[in-house]
Amino acid sequence: MKRLAERRHITSLIVYVPDFFREIKGAIQDHSVDEKLEVLKKTPVLILDDIGAETITPWIRDEVLGSILQYRMMDHLPTLYTSNFNYDELEDHFSYSQKAGRNV
Q: Is the pTM of this model over 0.75?
A: yes
pLDDT of residue 97 exceeding 60: no
Q: What are the domain boundaries of the chain?
A: 2-103
Task: Check: CB of residue 44 under 8 Å from CB of residue 9.
Answer: no
Return d(Cα 32, Cα 2) in angstroms, integer.
28
- Regarding the domain delimited by 2-103, which CATH topology (the fold level of the hierarchy) does it fall under? Rossmann fold (3.40.50)
Structure confidence by residue, pLDDT tens digits, 32-84: 999 999 999 999 999 999 998 887 888 899 999 999 999 999 999 999 999 99
CA 5 to chain centre: 20
Q: Which long-range contacts (CB under 8 A, 24 or more apart) does 20-25 make?
A: 21/54, 21/55, 21/60, 21/64, 24/60, 24/64, 25/60
Q: How confident is the model at residue 1 (pLDDT cuts 50, 70, 90)?
A: low
pLDDT of residue 4 exceeding 90: no
Positions of E strands within the chain: 12-16, 45-49, 79-81, 96-97, 102-103
